[in-house]
Amino acid sequence: MTTRVPVGIVLNGVTGRMGYRQHLVRSLLAIREAGGVPLRDGTLLWPELLLVGRSEAKLRDIATRHGLTDWTTDLGAALARPDMAVYFDAQVTSEREKAIGLAIAAGKHIYTEKPTATTLHGAIELARAADAAGLRHGVVQDKLFLPGLRKLQRLVDAGFFGKILSVRGEFGYWVFEGDWQQAQRPSWNYRSADGGGIVVDMFPHWHYVLEQIFAPVRAVTAHVTTHIPRRWDERGEAYEATADDAAYAIFELEGGVVAQINSSWAVRVNRDELVEFQVDGTEGSAVAGLRNCRIQHRATTPKPVWNPDLPVGHSFRDQWQEVPDNEDFDNGFKAQWEMFLRHIAQDAPYTWDLWAGARGVQLAELGLQSAREGRRIELPELER
């Protein structure tokens, strides 16, 4: 019979959108349904889950719905339990740093949503403290596991692009203000005091996507704004949107690649997917989204000629070719949980740690500074 090795995980923030859907249901419960995470020696790591949150009723409801028995509103008591090896955080961003600090002090390995803190100073302090305590740490970098970006990575690895010249990213959709139709994102996202803002939310993602697939980010120039200044919250009450809801940024990468990414909650989608990256290289180009990726090779590139007097007689989009899946793509959050749990149990490599998280926070912080001061800012290496 296969041996099952339990690993206790304190899950904080499971009543939220990400905590519940992606981390609890699609990752940890899915891992349990599959029997656990298989290790090299044939044993199975079995996540034992302790749900933590502010509302006893909500926690009981989630636990009952999924056949779980362990929950508490007392984070301190959860962290004091010796059978819990890992602390996971998917709370609102503003609550994260404090809670992770407590978990590190309690000797728990750390796995967390991004951004790891609201300031670079805070993010670095967490990384240093976790290292000093000899703990394992990981940060969610889910976009790398999206099928579209996996295919893009495959193209880069194959040398498809030749010399990569530029990356243009378009991310965004209309987030309803909340008066006439309910907003589809939580209201704290639009209040800076609560850790909101599109820069703090999205630049950490752009950081690891660029660093991992192309090259490290060396400089940022950003224009940041709040297009919609007044919104309505979950209770239908009007509030002032103090956080940025759009950012227009240029990221300069090591080696000279220029990446321009627009991020906005105030645009309407006229794209195939909610995020798309166009990569242009000397030998070929690609457009990658969440799931799909299309390419055009140098040898099949048409020769457009500028002539406004003539209508366009063909569809430019039809001149691209779809990159095939060639593999089954598992849920990215689940794949990353499995990697992190193997990292704790058998020292398997895991590169996306609190330092990677801090570099993402650094890009957000310097992006906001660039916008405030109206200038280009270089990113210094972080001092460990």
Ligand X SMILES: NC(=O)c1ccc[n+]([C@@H]2O[C@H](COP(=O)([O-])OP(=O)(O)OC[C@H]3O[C@@H](n4cnc5c(N)ncnc54)[C@H](O)[C@@H]3O)[C@@H](O)[C@H]2O)c1
Residue ranges that bind ligand X, judged by CB under 6 A? 13, 15-19, 53-54, 90-93, 95, 113-114, 140, 142, 186, 188, 201
- Separation CA 93–CA 115 (nearest Å): 7
Per-residue tokens: 278: 């166009």
- Separation CA 50–CA 152 (nearest Å): 37
Q: Which residue is nearest to ligand X (CB)?
A: 16
Taking the complex as a whole, the smallest distance from the CB of residue 318 to ligand X amounts, in Å, to: 32
Taking the complex as a whole, the smallest distance from the CB of residue 26 to ligand X amounts, in Å, to: 12
Alpha carbon 45 to its chain centroid, in Å, reads 25
Please identify, using beta-carbon distances, which residue of 19 and 169 lies nearer to ligand X: 19
Taking the complex as a whole, the smallest distance from the CB of residue 96 to ligand X amounts, in Å, to: 6
Taking the complex as a whole, the smallest distance from the CB of residue 59 to ligand X amounts, in Å, to: 10
Please identify, using beta-carbon distances, which residue of 12 and 226 lies nearer to ligand X: 12
Per-residue tokens: 138: 């990981």
Please identify, using beta-carbon distances, which residue of 188 and 248 lies nearer to ligand X: 188
Per-residue tokens: 7: 């690993």
Please identify, using beta-carbon distances, which residue of 26 and 297 lies nearer to ligand X: 26
What type of residue sits at position 217?
V
CB distance 324 to 146 below 8 Å = no
Please identify, using beta-carbon distances, which residue of 54 and 227 lies nearer to ligand X: 54
Three-class SS state of 23: helix
Please identify, using beta-carbon distances, which residue of 8 and 357 lies nearer to ligand X: 357
Per-residue tokens: 93: 């961003």
Closest C-alpha among 317, 352, 304, 324 to residue 151: 324
Taking the complex as a whole, the smallest distance from the CB of residue 213 to ligand X amounts, in Å, to: 17
Please identify, using beta-carbon distances, which residue of 90 and 293 lies nearer to ligand X: 90
Please identify, using beta-carbon distances, which residue of 294 and 359 lies nearer to ligand X: 359
Taking the complex as a whole, the smallest distance from the CB of residue 329 to ligand X amounts, in Å, to: 16
Please identify, using beta-carbon distances, which residue of 91 and 226 lies nearer to ligand X: 91
147-157 and 198-213 helices, crossing angle to 10°: 30
Instruction: For 250, list phi and psi in degrees, rounded to 5.
Output: -115, 125
Burial category of 134 from C-beta neighbours within 10 Å (exposed 0-12, middle 13-18, buried 19 and up)? exposed
Please identify, using beta-carbon distances, which residue of 74 and 157 lies nearer to ligand X: 74
Q: Read out DSSP for 172-185?
A: E-BPP-SSSS--SS
Which stretches of the chain are DSSP H helices? 17, 30-33, 56-65, 75-79, 93-105, 120-132, 147-157, 198-213, 332-346, 354-373
Taking the complex as a whole, the smallest distance from the CB of residue 113 to ligand X amounts, in Å, to: 4
Pairing of strands 84-89, 109-112: parallel
Taking the complex as a whole, the smallest distance from the CB of residue 78 to ligand X amounts, in Å, to: 14
Closest C-alpha among 209, 294, 296 to residue 253: 209
- Separation CA 74–CA 270 (nearest Å): 46
Instruction: For 206, list phi and psi in degrees, rounded to 5.
Output: -60, -35
CB distance 117 to 362 below 8 Å = no
198-213 and 354-373 helices, crossing angle to 10°: 120
Taking the complex as a whole, the smallest distance from the CB of residue 109 to ligand X amounts, in Å, to: 19
Per-residue tokens: 275: 């995020």
Taking the complex as a whole, the smallest distance from the CB of residue 55 to ligand X amounts, in Å, to: 7
